[in-house]
Structure 1
Amino acid sequence: MQGFIINLNKVKDEDLIVTIISKNSLDTLYRFYGARHGVINLGFKIDYEKEGSAKSSIERLKDVIHIGYKWINNHEKLRLWQNFLRLFYKHLKDAHEIDDFYFNLLEDASQNWDKQSSKRVAVESYVKLLEYEGRLHTEMECFLCHNKIEGDISLIRAYLPTHKECTHTLQISQHGLKELYEHKSSLFLSNKEVDRLWHILLEGL
């Protein structure tokens, strides 16, 4: 089976507890340290097998093959990718079974990560996630004062809309935001606006 590594925890003797998003599950597996094992890292896509153990409630991760990205040697893109995937662990860590939406979302993002700005891919992917989970607020009403927003908008965590005067943060073009929400495209947002949306995203899914 295949999946994306969203968390690594070192345990005794450099063994690892590895959390992986696969098509239909969130797997937490034990990986023994050994010279014959290839290097794995946060954000890697791998092909792997699970093996039960009579000594532990955690299954063992085995037969790992790293499925590389074309951009894997671009350190900046890899850093952004790892920051993005780290968010999924915090968001999904208490789940056992998950829909294939999350795997497919990461699969699509990984394919587009070097075709346009990585931050734009992440922002567009996040909007798809918010919509899928029923948390995308498309009504232009301030989350803080509950009054209608005219003109440009400021956003806070989970892309909740507010007046600039209510949060004193960077304004986002309402036209660009509507295009993002309706068509999952950041084309009409400036790089500065995308940077702002990226930093909001880093606060948590």
Structure 2
Amino acid sequence: MQGFIIKLTRAREEDMIVTIIAEESLQTLYRFYGARHSPINMGFKIDFEVEHSLKSSIGRLRDVIHLGFPWMGQYERIRLWQQFISLFYPHLKDSEAIGDFYFALLNDASIRWKDQNPKRVAIESYVRLLEYEGRLHKDLNCFFCDLPIEDDISLIRAFLPAHKNCSHTLSINPKGLEWLYTNASTLFLSDQEIDRLWYIVNEGL
């Protein structure tokens, strides 16, 4: 089984509770500490086995193999990846059978993370997530005043649309936003707009 580590919680001594987005489920497993174990960290993609026991309600993480990324030696890319992937735990923590969408989304993002701007990859992935969950607001009515937005479109948490004057935040150019929503592509967004949207993504999925 393969999956992405989205949360590590220290248990007794050096043991860990590990939460993983696996290929079709969210797995919470116990990881015993020991010299024979390979190191694991937030954001790692791993191949693993689950050992179940009648003595415990939580499975044991075993036979872990780290499936490294080509960009693992680039500190900034790793930092942004861990920042992005950590957002999935609070979003999915109460789920179990999550299907294959989230694993596929992260797998695609991890491949594109090597050659593209990671913030752009994260934003494009987030739009795909919103679309999948039925939360992508393409009708541009202001979240605050409920009136149509004809220009000066701004976005707040969960990419909810708002008038710039209502949200008091940076506006997003309409062409770039339309292309993002239609094609899950940030092609027509400036680096300043990308930084703004990255900030919104980090407020929570």
Task: Indicate the TM-score class for this superposition, using the shorter chain for normalisation.
Answer: over 0.9
Give the Å deviation of 1:54: 2.8
Distance 2:65 2:71 in 1: 18
Distance 1:44 1:183 in 2: 28
Query: 2:53 aligned with 1:53, yes or no?
Result: yes
Question: SS of the counterpart of 2:58?
Answer: coil
Distance 2:16 2:105 in 1: 26
Give the Å deviation of 1:78: 0.5
Give the Å deviation of 1:100: 0.3
The equivalent residue for 1:27 is 27
Give the Å deviation of 1:152: 2.7
Question: SS of the counterpart of 1:134?
Answer: coil
Query: 2:110 aligned with 1:110, yes or no?
Result: yes
Question: SS of the counterpart of 1:12?
Answer: coil
What runs of 5+ residues in structure 1 fail to find an aligned partner?
A: none
Give a deviation string over 1:45-97, Cα, whole Å, max 9, x none. Answer: 00000001232111000000000000011111011100111100010000011
Query: 2:70 aligned with 1:70, yes or no?
Result: yes
What runs of 5+ residues in structure 2 fail to find an aligned partner?
A: none
The equivalent residue for 1:191 is 191
The equivalent residue for 2:151 is 151
Give a deviation string over 1:126-146, Cα, whole Å, max 9, x none. Answer: 000000000000011111101
1:4-15 to 2 correspondence within 5 Å?
Answer: 4-15=4-15
Give the Å deviation of 1:42: 0.4
Distance 2:175 2:11 in 1: 49
In percent, how many aligned pairs have the same letter?
63
- TM-score scaled by structure 1? 0.99
The equivalent residue for 1:122 is 122
The equivalent residue for 1:83 is 83
AA partner of residue 64 (structure 1): V
Taking only aligned residues, the RMSD between alpha carbons, in angstroms, comes to 0.6
AA partner of residue 192 (structure 2): K
Q: How many residues align?
A: 205
The equivalent residue for 2:166 is 166
Q: Which runs of 4+ in 1 moved over 6 A?
A: none
Give the Å deviation of 1:162: 0.2
- TM-score scaled by structure 2? 0.99
